[in-house]
Amino acid sequence: MLTVDDDPGVSRAVARDLRRRYGEQYRIVRAESGADALEALHQMKLRGEQVAVLLADYRMPEMNGVEFLERAMDIYPGARRALLTAYADTSAAIDAINVVDLDYYLLKPWDPPEEKLYPVIDSLLESWLASDHRPVPELKVVGHRWSAQSSQTREFLARNQVPYRWFQADEPEGRRLLEAAHADGMTLPVVITAAGEVLIAPGETELAERVGLPTRPSAGFYDLVVIGGGPAGLGAAVYGASEGLRTLMVERIATGGQAGQSSRIENYLGFPDGVSGAQLTDRARRQAAKFGAEILTTRDVIGLEANGSARTVRFSDGMAVDAHTVILATGVSYRQLTAPGLAQHTGAGVFYGSALTEATGCTDHDVYIVGGANSAGQAAVYLARAARSVSILVRGPSLRKSMSHYLVEQVEAVKNITVRTCTEVVEGSGDNHLERLTLRDSNTGATEMIDAQWMFVFIGAAPLTDWLDGTVLRDSRGFVLSGPDLPLVGGRPVGWPLERAPYHLETSVPGVFVAGDVRAESAKRVASAVGEGAMAVMLVHRYLEKL
């Protein structure tokens, strides 16, 4: 409850009487000017607190009670409003009933409060409690539906399993939050932390730090540094830490990797009904942390060096850590469609792997999915629950070659999914967001322009391993070579400095291992990535024993 009166004595007395009766259930906030009271409301709004009752004195210099209540309505439209007036001002109070939709006016003095104040406040509270006033204490993101940066921020939070509430900047509650944050809405998104701190278009590292995701290592030296926090990295972190290795896992964006973006993994051992990638990731991350693994997010590794027996891992901001051993578990990243008009709409109608985050926005819309592999099939089934229609655009003549049998059956069983084979996207267009796609039939060469606001692309992935150039050997596509796959010269792996042969998952640098999708000839499955992570740890032990 907020009360405002410019007379300090009256202000204290109102607050005291309110506290006496309501202090156990409500916080009573007192201000001595309209401006101070508005600022207090802004702060409460940012912290996600609710305001039940506003009680304002009518006669105040600079901003009278009616003007204050009018402005307060913009911040807390649901709060009940009462004006405190002297007898001489009752006609102003009556006018205010129309101007600010006043619920009550109270005459000064209000003694005894049991008769003159509490019955009024009780009735205001009763009507407030009956209305929708759910508290919003969590993180809030105010942004634009078609802004790439807003989309990126939501994706980042979702993938890191940080709960947040999304408000569109052009809707009333979004506008109220922007006003409370003193943000002009020109730079979006605006993130408001649970503590009420305002971040304007924050970078991922700043955001991670503010929401409590660790971004800095606690030590300078580890037994094992795992690069990449997908299933392979998480597997390595769980086994490494549980077996007593001082383990650091470094992840660029969010733990879970590709698997974290999967709506339902149906072929992972032990989950006969399937498991969402987010759930699996969350459990794995907690398991790794429980065993004492340190997990950093938003840290991009851009360098790896062998310095004697130490392996040095460099981050993009210049920071570095040393370790006895390293496991490369950097997986693969989505390939982008290169057709004209698409790059500028990334995050504004064109999405790479963000089906889970954007699903609610697609409600009752037509959705296009590009790709014919399992990831496209999963996304189609997931999005079809809310979308009006889902069209899968496939280059080949059928899904059966590229998608698992069980998923093809699921896709065929969903009524609002259609599959367009032999179809390529050749252009996208629109002003602020994607509005149209041009499709080409690869059999006839005929093109067709269709209205399209939502397109999700799943056209395969590539390892982003250029930063390993000159350090570890990779194949022509950038996948890391290891163990028996390392090229031999005169019966010995190229550049290999030791007498013994490299262990199975060991790269061309002793003590540097590779696991999961980034490994050349890997299976590209969650189970095999986890298994390789665990196996790499076993080989780390073997390496450390002989160090």
Ligand X SMILES: Cc1cc2nc3c(=O)[nH]c(=O)nc-3n(C[C@H](O)[C@H](O)[C@H](O)COP(=O)(O)OP(=O)(O)OC[C@H]3O[C@@H](n4cnc5c(N)ncnc54)[C@H](O)[C@@H]3O)c2cc1C
Could you tell me the smallest distance in angstroms from the CB atom of residue 248 to ligand X?
12
Is 526 among the residues that bind ligand X (CB under 6 A)?
yes
Could you tell me the smallest distance in angstroms from the CB atom of residue 72 to ligand X?
45
Q: Kindly give the interhelix angle for 231-242 and 277-290, rounded to the nearest 10 degrees.
A: 20
- Rounded to whole angstroms, the Cα distance separating 300 from 367 reads 33
Output 434 or 461, the one with its CB closest to ligand X: 461
- DSSP assignments along 392-434, one per residue: EE-SSS-STTTS-HHHHHHHHH-TTEEEE-SEEEEEEE-SSS-
Q: CB under 6 A: which stretch of 64-72, 132-140, 149-157, 259-267 binds ligand X?
A: 259-267
How many CA atoms does the CB half-sphere of 405 hold within 13 Å? 0
Output 193 or 374, the one with its CB closest to ligand X: 374
Choosing from 331, 361, 428, 502, the residue that interacts with ligand X (CB under 6 A) is 331
The beta-strand segments (E) located in 50-119 are 53-57, 80-85, 104-107
- Rounded to whole angstroms, the Cα distance separating 7 from 130 reads 33
Choosing from 252, 285, 324, 433, the residue that interacts with ligand X (CB under 6 A) is 252
Tell me if 341 sits within 8 A of 429, measured CB to CB.
Answer: yes
* Beta carbons within 10 angstroms of residue 407's beta carbon: 21
Output 30 or 159, the one with its CB closest to ligand X: 159
User: For the chain, what's the residue count?
Assistant: 547
Is 248 among the residues that bind ligand X (CB under 6 A)?
no
Could you tell me the smallest distance in angstroms from the CB atom of residue 267 to ligand X?
5
The token duo for 176 is 């109220």
Tokens 């003193």: give the residue: 182
User: Pattern of binders to ligand X over 349-388, x per CB under 6 A?
Assistant: ----x--------------------xx--x----------
Is 152 among the residues that bind ligand X (CB under 6 A)?
no
List CB contacts of 66: < 8 A, sequence separation 6 or more: 56, 58, 83, 92, 95, 96, 99, 100
The token duo for 477 is 């596509």
Could you tell me the smallest distance in angstroms from the CB atom of residue 253 to ligand X?
4
Output 48 or 516, the one with its CB closest to ligand X: 516
Is 204 among the residues that bind ligand X (CB under 6 A)?
no
Choosing from 64, 147, 258, 276, the residue that interacts with ligand X (CB under 6 A) is 258
Output 125 or 464, the one with its CB closest to ligand X: 464
Output 133 or 524, the one with its CB closest to ligand X: 524
How many CA atoms does the CB half-sphere of 512 hold within 13 Å? 26
Output 253 or 419, the one with its CB closest to ligand X: 253
Could you tell me the smallest distance in angstroms from the CB atom of residue 242 to ligand X?
18
Residues 444-483 that bind ligand X (CB under 6 A): 464
Could you tell me the smallest distance in angstroms from the CB atom of residue 407 to ligand X?
8
Is 250 among the residues that bind ligand X (CB under 6 A)?
yes
Output 266 or 366, the one with its CB closest to ligand X: 266
Is 524 among the residues that bind ligand X (CB under 6 A)?
yes
Q: CB under 6 A: which stretch of 64-72, 217-225, 246-254, 395-403 binds ligand X?
A: 246-254
User: Pattern of binders to ligand X over 298-327, x per CB under 6 A?
Assistant: --xx--------------------------
Torsion angles phi and psi, residue 249, rounded to 5: -110, 130
Residues 487-516 that bind ligand X (CB under 6 A): 516
Tell me if 455 sits within 8 A of 435, measured CB to CB.
Answer: no
Output 274 or 341, the one with its CB closest to ligand X: 274
Choosing from 175, 525, 534, 544, the residue that interacts with ligand X (CB under 6 A) is 525
Could you tell me the smallest distance in angstroms from the CB atom of residue 420 to ligand X?
20
- Rounded to whole angstroms, the Cα distance separating 454 from 338 reads 17
Is 410 among the residues that bind ligand X (CB under 6 A)?
no
DSSP summary character for residue 275: B
DSSP summary character for residue 512: E
Q: Among 345, 419, 347, 350, which residue's Cα sits nearest to residue 381?
A: 419
Torsion angles phi and psi, residue 393, rounded to 5: -100, 115
The token duo for 275 is 């498991």
Cβ-count burial of 121 within 10 angstroms (0-12 exposed, 13-18 middle, 19+ buried)? buried
* Cα end-to-end span (Å), the chain: 67
Output 12 or 264, the one with its CB closest to ligand X: 264
The token duo for 330 is 């950097």
The token duo for 462 is 């590539």
Choosing from 143, 174, 202, 231, the residue that interacts with ligand X (CB under 6 A) is 231
Q: CB under 6 A: which stretch of 85-93, 122-130, 207-215, 222-230 binds ligand X?
A: 222-230
Could you tell me the smallest distance in angstroms from the CB atom of residue 458 to ligand X?
6
Output 29 or 301, the one with its CB closest to ligand X: 301
Is 159 among the residues that bind ligand X (CB under 6 A)?
no
The 3-class SS string of 184-199 reads CCCCCCEEECCCCCEE
Residues that bind ligand X (CB under 6 A): 227-233, 250-253, 257-259, 261-262, 265-267, 300-301, 329-332, 353, 374-375, 378, 464, 516-518, 524-527, 529
